[in-house]
Structure 1
């Protein structure tokens, strides 16, 4: 059996607030949670789903991994993400690929491409 993407997990200070950001960005709802410090989006709807877990001491430095997302309306969704609180880190066009690197409200990096 091959490895499959199961979940994307964000270590964060405020799981509820970060889950609300990502739920709005992805057009989904925040799941109800029975676990203190853990909030999810898309649990039980197949893989991947998103997990936001509270850590009292976040590691400093750059992300060791980040999610990539695609869209059919690149300009609209770039503007929408910024309106939700994302920050643009870089806009890249190379080798026929266009993507924007963002950070979410807690500084986690992610990319959006039109591919």
Structure 2
């Protein structure tokens, strides 16, 4: 048997606004809303579906899993994400490899690395 990654799901207390934010950042489209309890994004810069599932209580611990995203111009992309509502957590790496850890508007951490 071979498993294939099909979707990454993020728990949230408010699925639709967070899904809209991520759709704007990845140029993806919302393809399912399911009454606001399970919202799915597809296309754009996403290699798999990205979903947002409404839960009663969001975890307050550090993410066990996070998204690693790539951008051809790291500094410009980080500036754009910060302007769009992301929060800077930390700039990391050295001259051979740099990445930046950010958080989306609901506090979910993700990384953006320079990819040429």
**Does the pair score TM above 0.5?**
yes
Counterpart CA distance in 1 for 2:80 and 2:47 is 24
Counterpart CA distance in 1 for 2:62 and 2:85 is 19
Which residue does the alignment assign to 1:6? 6
User: Where do 5+ consecutive residues of structure 2 fail to align?
Assistant: none
Pairs aligned (count): 113
Contact persistence 1:41–1:49 (CA under 8 A) = yes
TM-score (ref. length: structure 1) = 0.87
With over 3 angstroms needed to count, the CA separation of the structure-2 counterparts of 1:74 and 1:18, relative to structure 1, is same
Which residue does the alignment assign to 2:17? 17
State the secondary structure of the residue aligned to 2:5. Answer: coil
Deviations 1:60-84 (A, max 9, x none): 2111100100011212211111111
Deviations 1:14-57 (A, max 9, x none): 100000110011012222323540111007xx951100000001
User: Where do 5+ consecutive residues of structure 1 fail to align?
Assistant: none
Which residue does the alignment assign to 2:72? 72
Counterpart CA distance in 1 for 2:47 and 2:24 is 18
Structure 1 or 2: larger strand share? 2
Counterpart CA distance in 1 for 2:47 and 2:14 is 23
Counterpart CA distance in 1 for 2:74 and 2:95 is 17
Counterpart CA distance in 1 for 2:79 and 2:47 is 27
Which residue does the alignment assign to 1:54? 54
State the secondary structure of the residue aligned to 1:31. Answer: strand
Counterpart CA distance in 1 for 2:103 and 2:34 is 28
With over 3 angstroms needed to count, the CA separation of the structure-2 counterparts of 1:3 and 1:32, relative to structure 1, is closer
